């Protein structure tokens, strides 16, 4: 596989992680309640800068043999690597019309923007014309409410405005293809959506299971490996921080207990790994398959 793509199997499910590029934001946005000195020390240990955090965007292609499923579509036109996801799909042998299902873990721009062609800002077009677009009903209801309340997030007001605008605009552009789900739902055989609220009201995790192998996709329930090591450290993009942390703990306990592989959209590429119980009630991240 070329750089930016990595293939592995979960039982009979052929999985490929595809990089849609990356962004960078102030460290304080990702760790708003972390002790400053402790955070600086933890970032330094990882060789990372203390000012800005680089966050990769990693989508997951699942080929079941019958179905082609894409989990999250990346940022799309707003990205410094706009179009990356389509190029990576093409290299993986997938044309946009081959995609049967796109699942959005949630409607933040870095997950939904890549499903929409915004080259003509007046006429947004779906990029996967034949795909059903699966999203939680709670997510759809939240962003389509008259004025989605983002006061719980601790990022700049500009960032909140962009997030609100893009989410609403993309959901509107995709409205004829949207399929709403409620609760735990098997989307295709072996791929189950699990409600994981807190980051957003309808945020989803995904459990892949086939032939005794399992992988848990956290979505944005953790956006940096330090969120495993220090599970009480909040993420400023979480709408409901306490609920997000309860969800994160529950997912990580499930993954560690089941010896599962784990994927997280924003973790260092290829964004897959394993975790084990670490010190102080946290977990240690070991990247790779």
Cα separation, 221 vs 204, in Å, equals 9
Cα separation, 23 vs 118, in Å, equals 19
Comparison of 190 and 236: residue with beta carbon closer to Zn ion: 236
Backbone region of residue 204 per phi and psi (left: phi > 0; alpha: psi in -120 to 50; beta: other values): beta
Shortest Å distance, C-beta 178 to Zn ion: 19
Comparison of 220 and 229: residue with beta carbon closer to Zn ion: 220
Shortest Å distance, C-beta 257 to Zn ion: 26
Shortest Å distance, C-beta 123 to Zn ion: 26
Comparison of 118 and 220: residue with beta carbon closer to Zn ion: 220
Shortest Å distance, C-beta 146 to Zn ion: 24
Shortest Å distance, C-beta 246 to Zn ion: 19
Chain mean position to CA 205? 9
Cα separation, 15 vs 261, in Å, equals 13
The DSSP element (H or E) to which 208 belongs, if any, is: strand 204-210
Q: 180: Cβ–Cβ under 8 A, 6 or more apart, which residues?
A: 135, 136, 137, 140
Burial of residue 283 (number of CB atoms within 10 Å: 0-12, 13-18, 19+)? buried
Comparison of 126 and 219: residue with beta carbon closer to Zn ion: 219
By CB under 5 A, the residues from 196 to 225 that bind Zn ion are 220
Q: 162: Cβ–Cβ under 8 A, 6 or more apart, which residues?
A: 78, 109
By CB under 5 A, the residues from 220 to 249 that bind Zn ion are 220
By CB under 5 A, the residues from 90 to 109 that bind Zn ion are 108
Reference 277, options 262, 260, 257, 263; nearest CA is 257
Cα separation, 288 vs 262, in Å, equals 10
Comparison of 190 and 219: residue with beta carbon closer to Zn ion: 219
By CB under 5 A, the residues from 34 to 63 that bind Zn ion are none
Shortest Å distance, C-beta 174 to Zn ion: 18
Comparison of 108 and 261: residue with beta carbon closer to Zn ion: 108
| Contact with Zn ion (CB under 5 A) among 110, 118, 139, 238 | 110
Task: Determine the size of the site formed for Zn ion (CB under 5 A).
Answer: 3
By CB under 5 A, the residues from 136 to 165 that bind Zn ion are none
Residues of this chain that interact with Zn ion (CB under 5 A) are 108, 110, 220
């Amino acid at each position: 596989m070329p750089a930016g793509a990595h293939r592995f199997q979960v039982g009979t499910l052929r999985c490929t992680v595809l990089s849609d590029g990356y962004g960078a934001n102030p460290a304080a946005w990702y760790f708003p309640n972390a002790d400053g000195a402790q955070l600086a020390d933890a970032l330094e240990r990882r060789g990372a800068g203390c000012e800005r955090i680089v966050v990769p965007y990693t989508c997951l292609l699942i080929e079941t043999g019958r179905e082609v499923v894409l989990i999250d579509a990346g940022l799309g036109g707003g990205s410094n690597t706009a179009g990356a996801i389509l190029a990576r799909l093409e290299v993986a042998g997938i044309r946009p019309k081959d995609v049967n299902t796109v699942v959005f873990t949630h409607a933040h721009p870095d997950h939904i923007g890549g499903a929409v062609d915004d080259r003509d800002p007046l006429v947004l077009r779906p990029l996967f014309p034949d795909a059903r677009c699966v999203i939680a009903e709670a997510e759809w209801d939240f962003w389509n409410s008259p004025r989605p309340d983002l006061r719980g997030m601790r990022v700049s007001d500009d960032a909140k405005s962009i997030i609100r605008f893009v989410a609403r605009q993309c959901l509107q552009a995709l409205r004829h293809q949207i399929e709403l789900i409620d609760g735990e739902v098997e989307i295709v055989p072996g791929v189950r959506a699990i409600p994981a609220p807190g980051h957003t009201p309808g945020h989803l995790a995904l459990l892949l299971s086939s032939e005794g192998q399992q992988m848990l996709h956290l979505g944005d329930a953790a956006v940096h490996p330090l969120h495993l090591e220090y599970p009480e450290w909040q993420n400023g993009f979480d709408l409901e921080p306490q609920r997000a942390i309860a969800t994160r703990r529950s997912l990580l306990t499930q993954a560690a207990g089941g010896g599962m592989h784990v994927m997280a959209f924003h973790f260092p590429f290829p964004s897959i790994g394993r975790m084990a119980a670490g010190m102080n009630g946290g977990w240690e991240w070991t990247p790779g398959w």
